[in-house]
Structure 1
């Protein structure tokens, strides 16, 4: 699963739409554009993952709490329900199954129907393979800071910040996104749009981050593992 976030700063221009004048278009965008930072969950085939997308959209259209949108970790409560946590470990939202979107004049009927959980969705959301016993699970506090690969372009780096943002570079292209952690070294990341400038010895930092499902330490070295438990990248602290 891939997680993206809306960002009006990335929208340079809204073109003309047949049948709508500028005033009508502006009014529609003001009414239906979700809040900045609204998450969008997509499967490996880049289709919406439901019911997550609908729930996030409801929050965005209702201008949902910034605290909810800025969760930096999650855990499961005694009933097995996911709880979103902020940077201090405080609960900001609890996800409860069975919610029904509010009907609206311009909302498609398909959005109101219970989602169909496909095999592809189950596979995308399945728990990742546990970390090897030789690695120490990484948590939110340990990840915060700046990291660099041992090989590749000297300008390549990755930095995790306490507010749930990550920033980095493959050596030529600036990259960024969001990240959350959970128990057992679980790590979920998103990436924003990036430029595609070519440079020799570039390091696929964004690819490492977005495909990582677990993070662990071998001494001071940070390792990223994918859902199958394969190592996909390793970084060392820069300080």
Structure 2
């Protein structure tokens, strides 16, 4: 008897994923559903998306077990209030974070709108308006751009040597996250990656990755606060960061 497939080879019936184990942190808390809660939360479109296991209807619940024996270094906790204050101040005044908040509202509005126009002229007009808005944003960001930051590679053999090695010629930049590129936001809403700008390179996108920029500023703030020295202006306010 010859076996006959019920479905064609190109048919994808889907997949079934089963959680068979949980992971726990040293303090006994599970990473299930909640993940690892950050000390400082920055605005992001990703915060509004239903992604991850926690968005599934039958995800295993969060729980905890007895904590392991470990010593807390406590190097950051004392500085968290000041770090949060500085981050909130920068997020409130940096124009690029205004774009992030705008993208969040755009995403939420698109998610709430369950209808779509089939009128070609209307769709083309909406596309033209979106492209004009994106170009205006890019021009504004380019006008405010500072000089490219210098990247240094520090190896173990150089760590104890005075001074810095010559800067690298190019950066190993990462692509910008969704909330820093308006076309990436549109792609996340419409599911159309074709809308992404082909001319955007990782180096160009990283220049406006405000989350990465704020993370670097927070690291500089932490270094400054950790030093036993006389009060000084915030390091992040005096060091140019792209």
Fold match by TM threshold 0.5: no
Task: Decide which structure has greater strand share.
Answer: 1
The TM-score normalised by the length of structure 1 is 0.27
Task: Decide which structure has greater helix share.
Answer: 2
* Greater Cα radius of gyration, structure 1 or 2: 2
The TM-score normalised by the length of structure 2 is 0.26
| Higher relative contact order, chain-length normalized (CA < 8 Å, sep 6+) | 2
